[in-house]
Amino acid sequence: MSAVVDPGPTWVEAWTPAEGASRASALLRGAFGVDATCTWRAPGRVTVIGEHTDYSEGLALPTVTPHAVYAAARPREDRVVRVASDQGAFLDGPGTTWEGTLDTDPQDVEGWPRYVIGLLWAMQERGYDGCGMDIALASCLPPRAGLASSAAVLAATGLVADDLWRLALDGDAGRAEIADACLDAENLAVGTLCGALDPHTILRCGPDDALLLDFAEHPTSAVPYPMYFRDYGLGLLVIDTGVPRGDVQQLFRTRRSECAAAAESLGARTLREVADTPLAARRVEGIADPVLRRRARHVTAEIERVRLVVGELSGTGPAHERFVTIGKAIYRSHASLELDYEASDPTLDLAVDAAFRAGALGARVSGAGYGGAVVALVRKTQARLAALHIAHGFTDAGRDEPRFLWV
């Protein structure tokens, strides 16, 4: 009898920009019988450090994935909007295609098309307008994995509107304007009261950079930092656990109100104000309500972790020591998200523990939490072996093997 060969871990490969554009264009042609006049790409988001700080006007250091949502579109001579999605059969909604108009109320739309029409609504609310359009969306970005796939759909639609409506929002200030429209669409049309992290990362971060985002600035300031990890043989291993995320909308609503209440209890407008004051940690420990104290502890400590990681990335000390320090900060971030912010779950904790045993320098929840993915800082030469060990850790625990992405 021949031996059973372990096929190894499952990788989600990124499309090249040319392949993504071709797939979206073919989908547009197949769905509506028309050829694209423009194609656009919106990547996913991975947060190096700084999770759940944006809606407290904090700091974050995210980067983008090579995996992306691709949009192909052409203008119409009326106000009709037709949309096709290669993910539509697997998402809530009408299936693979939807038709409406620029005047359709997003609240009357169910499922994934609400993101598209919600963004077009948000742009019109900001004073922009134009023709109807046919759009096709093709994605190699895993949905529901905490990599901002929904925000990428919003951003891709915003880029299409900018092109077809000739808005010339092509500089950083213009991209920030589209990002804010994406946030309006997410919060007001879709109903997820999230922060500004995802759209500003997707629309303003270069493929080889991380962004230091400061959400206390209006518009949000974005300072690029080279991703020095790659120069030293490191990278980000994303572990897609395959566990559907829980009620993220309720998580955002609850945590926003708790963070606001924690800041108010300290006489501050936001927890960022608290984090920027002397002896911030001591002030937080003085909050009487234990739940509000834990929420404030996460946000204020996470802001300090962002500052620490940015300092180490741009530091001049020995590289090994700097990256070990960054890795420890990433692990502390997960512990804070698990214990103080209660945004993890047993599967995410399992992934972090498995990454630690596999030799990752750091690992933490990626995105909102409650399921989805974990991001780990690992050496590139050990990435496949680390993925294999993590996959075996899942099967040893009786769980389905995760999928992996490399950033």
Strand partners of residue 235: 378
- Record the tokens describing residue 170, joined without a space: 């092509």
Let me know if residue 312 belongs to a domain. Answer: yes
**Which pLDDT score is estimated for 246?**
63
Let me know if residue 115 belongs to a domain. Answer: yes
Q: Are residues 274 and 198 in the same domain?
A: no
Rounded to the nearest 5 percent, the helix, strand and coil shares of the chain are: 45, 20, 35
CA-CA-CA-CA torsion sign (241, 246, 249, 251): negative
**Which residues, including other chains, have CB under 8 Å from residue 279's CB and lie 6 or more apart?**
none
Q: Which of 387, 356, 383, 373 is nearest to 8 (CA)?
A: 387
Q: 10-11 and 403-406 as β-strands: parallel, antiparallel, unpaired?
A: parallel
d(CA 381, CA 91): 36
Given 226, 260, 276, the domain boundary residue is 226
Q: Are residues 202 and 61 in the same domain?
A: yes
Q: Are residues 388 and 299 in the same domain?
A: yes
**Which pLDDT score is estimated for 6?**
58
Across 346-368, b (16+ Cβ under 10 Å) vs e yields ebbebbbbbbbebebbbbbbbbb
Q: Are residues 222 and 234 in the same domain?
A: no
CB 377 within 8 A of CB 330: yes
Let me know if residue 114 belongs to a domain. Answer: yes
Q: Are residues 154 and 258 in the same domain?
A: no
Let me know if residue 70 belongs to a domain. Answer: yes
Let me know if residue 5 belongs to a domain. Answer: no
CB 329 within 8 A of CB 309: yes
d(CA 269, CA 278): 16
Q: Are residues 314 and 207 in the same domain?
A: no
Q: Read off the pLDDT of residues 196-232 as tens digits, 9 standing for 90 and up.
A: 999 999 999 998 899 999 999 999 999 998 888 888 9
d(CA 84, CA 136): 5
Strand partners of residue 373: 240, 366
d(CA 223, CA 246): 32
Dihedral pair phi/psi, residue 214, rounded to 5°: -115, 105
- Record the tokens describing residue 9, joined without a space: 């871990």
d(CA 180, CA 185): 9
Q: Are residues 138 and 188 in the same domain?
A: yes
Given 196, 226, 256, the domain boundary residue is 226
Residue 188: alpha-carbon gap to chain centroid = 19
Dihedral pair phi/psi, residue 391, rounded to 5°: -60, -40
Q: Read off the pLDDT of residues 158-178 as tens digits, 9 standing for 90 and up.
A: 999 999 999 999 999 999 999
The pTM (predicted TM-score) of the whole model is 0.93
Q: Point out the residues that are catalytic.
A: 198
Preceding peptide of 290 cis, ω within 30°: no
Given 166, 196, 226, the domain boundary residue is 226
Q: Which of 103, 67, 82 is nearest to 157 (CA)?
A: 82
Q: Are residues 285 and 399 in the same domain?
A: yes
Q: Are residues 291 and 350 in the same domain?
A: yes
Residue entry with tokens 């750091």: 362
SS (H, E, C) 387-398: HHHHHHHHHHCC
Give the range of the structural domain holding residue 49, as residue numbers without chain letter: 10-226
**Which residues, including other chains, have CB under 8 Å from residue 287's CB and lie 6 or more apart?**
262, 265, 266, 293, 296
Let me know if residue 255 belongs to a domain. Answer: yes
Looking up residue 347, the CATH number of its domain turns out to be 3.30.70.890
d(CA 348, CA 353): 9
CB 62 within 8 A of CB 48: yes
Let me know if residue 1 belongs to a domain. Answer: no
Q: Are residues 259 and 170 in the same domain?
A: no
Q: Are residues 123 and 180 in the same domain?
A: yes
DSSP letter assigned to residue 185: I
Q: Read off the pLDDT of residues 61-75 as tens digits, 9 standing for 90 and up.
A: 999 999 999 999 999
Give how many domains the chain has, as a whole number: 2
Q: Are residues 101 and 150 in the same domain?
A: yes
CB 313 within 8 A of CB 326: yes
Q: What secondary structure does DSSP assign to 305-369, as a single string?
A: HHHHHHHHHT--S-HHHHHHHHHHHHHHHHHHHHHTS----HHHHHHHHHHHHTT-SEEEEESS-
Looking up residue 210, the CATH number of its domain turns out to be 3.30.230.10
Residue entry with tokens 């994605």: 139
Let me know if residue 37 belongs to a domain. Answer: yes
**Which pLDDT score is estimated for 147?**
93
pLDDT in tens, the chain (407 residues): 444 445 689 999 999 999 999 999 999 999 999 999 999 999 999 999 999 999 999 999 999 999 999 999 999 999 999 999 999 888 888 999 999 999 999 999 999 999 999 999 999 999 999 999 999 999 999 988 889 999 999 999 999 999 999 999 999 999 999 999 999 999 999 888 888 999 999 999 998 899 999 999 999 999 998 888 888 999 999 999 987 766 778 888 899 999 999 999 999 999 999 999 999 999 999 999 999 999 999 999 999 999 999 999 888 888 889 999 999 999 999 999 999 999 999 999 999 999 999 999 999 998 888 778 999 999 999 999 999 999 999 999 999 999 999 99
- Record the tokens describing residue 66, joined without a space: 């090579």
Q: Which of 51, 47, 46, 45 is nearest to 336 (CA)?
A: 51
Sheet holding 234-240, edge to edge: 10-11, 403-406, 234-240, 373-379, 362-366
Report CA-CA distances (Å) from 128 to 20, 75, 108.
28, 15, 21
